[in-house]
Amino acid sequence: MVIDFSALSRLPLFRGIAPVDLPHLCNCLGCYTKSYTKKDFIRFEDNKIFFLACICQGSVQMITEDTNGTKSIIISLREGDIFGEDLSCYESNSAIEYLAMPHSKITFFSINKVMNFCTPICHCHSIFLKNVIAALAQKNSNLIRKNKIMSQRTLREKLILYFQANFAKDDPTAPFTIPFGRLDLANYLCVDRSSLTRELTNMREEGLIDFSRNTFSIKPLLFKEVE
């Protein structure tokens, strides 16, 4: 698939890099782009050359499954996020898998070429590496936030903390849309779907939240409960 340099230039991973330098940089990093339909597992093509991946379009779920086939969503990754470092940095099988949600375009970079500068040293390569580190730091922050949510003792406490991480800080009562349907939200919080649906209904009846499908709004009464 042809690399869309215009799309790449808009991503945080390429911030500070001139669009005219992108073809050279992508050649330097051994890039290729693939397209995935909804619920496709994203596989890394070459087991000998490890790759780092960036979401150019769509979103990706980082998931695990237990021996019974029960799915748990670790985090949801969106456009501009990177993934695959767990596969690219260790020569062993990872329990983590990546699922395209919905139609997605993913660009892959050779991790060896990312970490080893070309000769002579390419200025845009050094900027790219700094952006990779920043993206990994942001991903780590998201994982810490997820761990904090999962450490809550009750389902309601988990939901409140999850909503707090997603509503607009400048207008907390404004509607916001989450990347999960009910089943995926249950898998993200590691709870039973029926229990989740029941708790959401209870919170709405108590005047704490309102929702329509994946769009939620927080009511002022919820903030009083948190205090």
Task: In whole angstroms, give the CA distance from residue 72 to residue 180.
Answer: 13
At which residue do the structure tokens 């990177």 appear? 82
Q: What is the pLDDT of residues 103-161, one digit of tens each?
A: 999 999 988 888 887 766 678 888 999 999 999 999 999 999 999 999 999 999 999 99
pTM confidence score: 0.87
Give me the helices (H) in the chain, please: 5-9, 22-28, 85-88, 111-115, 123-150, 155-166, 182-189, 193-205, 220-226
Nearest of 62, 143, 46 to residue 100 by alpha carbon: 62
Give the count of beta carbons closer than 10 Å to the beta carbon of residue 216: 21
SS3 content of the chain, % helix, strand, coil (to 5): 40, 20, 35
pLDDT in tens, 31-57: 999 999 999 999 765 554 578 999 999
User: Of 75, 52, 95, 59, which Cα lies nearest the Cα of 143?
Assistant: 75
Q: What is the residue-averaged pLDDT of the chain?
A: 88
